[in-house]
């Protein structure tokens, strides 16, 4: 049995987000800054009648920030009633991985509880994100969008 994922890139690393969690992909346009917000929160965007917080995935993963460009995307995820936009360097691929292809994250990465596993695919490794755990952080607000 296979599970579909949206594959995105942050820095030089590929991440897979379960397609069931992804509502849509958007280009990065106008992000309204929110004074006093945490470093990982870039601000909010207005999408289809809803104000959605934007989490900079680079910042959340401890990577240096870069300016958004034409390939930057917002991966809009929905967990329960909560909607959040994850800002990534690029996202344009859908892939399905079998349960056998998904290996658990190495023990050395156990403290990174937002990693659900790893898939080795041809010439790259893809890290599978647990979006719920990624958002359960002291660095990101927990309220509904």
Domain layout of the chain by residue ranges: 2-135
Q: Per the CATH hierarchy, to which homologous superfamily does domain 2-135 belong?
A: CheA-289, Domain 4 (2.40.50.180)
User: How would you classify the pairing of strands 102-103 and 115-121?
Assistant: antiparallel
How much is the average pLDDT of 129-143?
Answer: 69
> Among 10, 66, 74, 17, which Cα is nearest to 44's?
74
Over residues 82-103, the pLDDT tens digits come to 899 999 999 989 999 988 888 8
Q: What's the mean pLDDT in 68-82?
A: 93
């Amino acid at each position: 049995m296979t599970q579909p994922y949206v594959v995105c890139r942050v820095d030089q690393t590929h991440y897979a987000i379960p397609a069931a969690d992804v509502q849509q992909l958007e280009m990065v346009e106008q992000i309204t800054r929110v004074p006093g917000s945490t470093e990982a929160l870039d601000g909010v965007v207005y999408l289809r009648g809803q104000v959605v917080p934007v989490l900079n995935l680079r910042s959340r993963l401890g990577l240096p920030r870069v300016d958004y460009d034409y390939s930057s995307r917002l991966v809009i995820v929905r967990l329960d009633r909560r909607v959040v936009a994850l800002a990534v360097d690029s996202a344009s691929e859908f892939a399905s991985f079998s349960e056998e292809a998904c290996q658990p994250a190495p023990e050395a990465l156990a403290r990174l509880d937002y990693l659900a596993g790893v898939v080795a695919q041809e010439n790259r490794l893809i890290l599978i994100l647990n979006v719920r755990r990624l958002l359960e952080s002291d660095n990101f607000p927990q309220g509904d969008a």
